[in-house]
Structure formats: structure tokens, C-alpha cells
Amino acid sequence: MPVGSRLMLPNEYKQRALYLLSGKLRIGDTTVEPLSMLVFAEEGDVIIEAEIPSHVMLLGGDPLPEQRFIWWNFVSSSEERIVQAKADWKTGRFGLIPGDEKEFIPLPE
């Protein structure tokens, strides 16, 4: 978003969020700093204004039909799959991140 630009977030979606990669935004009385995610109420107008040039990701849509389970960095519609992901992480079955092959973050206990 160029500096001074404004965007009305569509309110036709039940779930709406914004992630600010870089820049600085103002939404009402709130200043949004980089690497922040805001989740908005289902209804109501949201006007986003760029205070400086900003790179923004907008997310939205209808809720998924199944329940989601979240544990640490794992999200699934199956609790069993979360248990399997924990075991896979502990045993190193997840691939390393290209360019970051030296660091391994252990599974929280």
C-alpha cells in the first residue's frame, strides 16, 4: 500500500484478518507495526490506512466445516495427526528449512 492509501476491508467474509509484513498502518485509533496479525470481528467496517509504504497480506473466507486442533506449530482437523506430528518432529522426519539447516528448535515439553 502506498503511503496515505486507504482500503476498506470487505465485510462479506465471516473470518477476516490482516498480517503486516512491512510498513506501518493505522486502523481507527490503532497503529499496526510490522510482523503483526490482526483478526477482525465478523461484522463492521474496517478501514486500513498506510502511514508509510506497507506490504500487507489480507486473509478471509468462510470458516472451515471441521474443528481445528492447534498445538505449538501444528494445526490439524485430527488430534491423532497432531500426536503423529509431535513424534515426527522429535525423530527428525520433518525436512530442514533451506538456508537454515544448522538450527533445530526442540519440541516444547
Q: Domain for residue 105, yes or no?
A: no
The residue segments making up the domain with residue 23 are: 6-61
Q: pTM of this prediction?
A: 0.69
Q: Domain for residue 78, yes or no?
A: yes
Is the pLDDT score of 41 beyond 90? no
Does residue 72 share a domain with residue 42? no
Does residue 84 share a domain with residue 38? no
* Strand ranges for the chain from DSSP E: 6-9, 15-27, 30-32, 36-40, 46-61, 69-71, 74-76
Does residue 30 share a domain with residue 77? no
Q: What is the pLDDT of residue 32?
A: 97
Q: Domain for residue 30, yes or no?
A: yes
Top-confidence residue, 82 or 14: 82
Q: What is the pLDDT of residue 49?
A: 98
Does residue 69 share a domain with residue 51? no
Q: Domain for residue 46, yes or no?
A: yes
How many independent structural domains does the chain possess? Answer: 2
For 5-29, the pLDDT digits (tens) are: 999 988 888 899 999 999 999 999 9
Per DSSP, 81 falls in state H
